[in-house]
Amino acid sequence: MYDFAIQTNELSRTFGDFTAVDRITFDVKQGEIFGFLGANGAGKTTAMKMLTGLLTPTSGEARVSGLDVFKEAEEIKQNIGYMSQKFSLYDDLTPEENIEFYGGVYGLKGQELNHKKEELIHSVGLEKFRKKLVRSLPLGWKQKLAFSISIIHNPKIVFLDEPTGGVDPVTRRQFWEKIYEVSNQGITVFVTTHYMDEAEYCDRVSIMVDGRIEALDSPDELKRTFNAKSIEEIFIQLARSAERGEE
């Protein structure tokens, strides 16, 4: 039906006379782990919002899981998973209740929901804490739970918006191992991050500067092209050469 998980063509978004996203064109293959990098204000969040159906583009085209972002935004939301930096879990509900709620939102019910619930609680390791309020869980556990919940309905793509901010280095890596697990099952992962070393975990990486995509390739290829030893070096190179009229 469609070969690409995401396809965009000259996708743009302006706010008044400010161009947040400037004609970006790229694709993400099915089953890929795609890293979406860029400085604050480069346009990452805006781009992501357009792809997840939360913001209508001003011009250009984009298809997510074969669905058009202009005309089928609502269907897109049903078919993707999403996890933002703020984790979107309800602090004053238990893990069980969070699972039940989000499961219900995505149309899971009855046996299927129960089955999923047990599966999820086991895989994150929350058996002893399933009835404790999420508020009392440490950050790393919340994050793992949020991630698992975001794919509870087996979407083909999951969007992760800076999921590892501020978390300790061990938990960060455990999270990425979960991403690998998920990718192994065939789910496409679209992730933005501030940590340059995490770019290396991705199959391909794009770097946004001033609303445009200035680089897109596998980490190894990028390092060869830019003659750099790390993604961070490339990032600094690109960022320094294009200051957004200061910002």
> Where on the chain is the footprint of other proteins (CB under 8 A)?
39-41, 90, 92-93, 97, 100-101, 103-109, 128-129, 132-133, 136-141, 166-171, 173, 176-177, 180-181, 183-184, 194, 196-201, 219, 230-232, 235-236, 239-240, 244, 246-247
- Pull the structure tokens for residue 127: 């058996």
Closest contact distance (angstroms) between CB of 154 and other proteins is: 16
Give the Cα separation of 146 and 31 in Å (integer): 21
Give the Cα separation of 12 and 46 in Å (integer): 10
**Burial classification of residue 193, based on how many CB atoms lie within 10 Å of its CB (0-12 exposed, 13-18 middle, 19 or more buried):** buried
Q: How far is CA 62 from the centre of its chain?
A: 17
Q: For residue 55, give the amino acid letter.
A: L
Closest contact distance (angstroms) between CB of 81 and other proteins is: 15
Give the Cα separation of 59 and 53 in Å (integer): 14
Q: Name which of 60 and 106 has its Cβ closer to other proteins.
A: 106
Q: Name which of 62 and 147 has its Cβ closer to other proteins.
A: 147
Backbone angles phi, psi at 112, to 5 degrees: -60, -45
Q: Name which of 39 and 69 has its Cβ closer to other proteins.
A: 39
Q: Name which of 107 and 225 has its Cβ closer to other proteins.
A: 107
Closest contact distance (angstroms) between CB of 93 and other proteins is: 6
DSSP state, 89? -
Q: Name which of 9 and 115 has its Cβ closer to other proteins.
A: 115
Closest contact distance (angstroms) between CB of 190 and other proteins is: 18
Give the Cα separation of 192 and 162 in Å (integer): 5
Closest contact distance (angstroms) between CB of 145 and other proteins is: 12
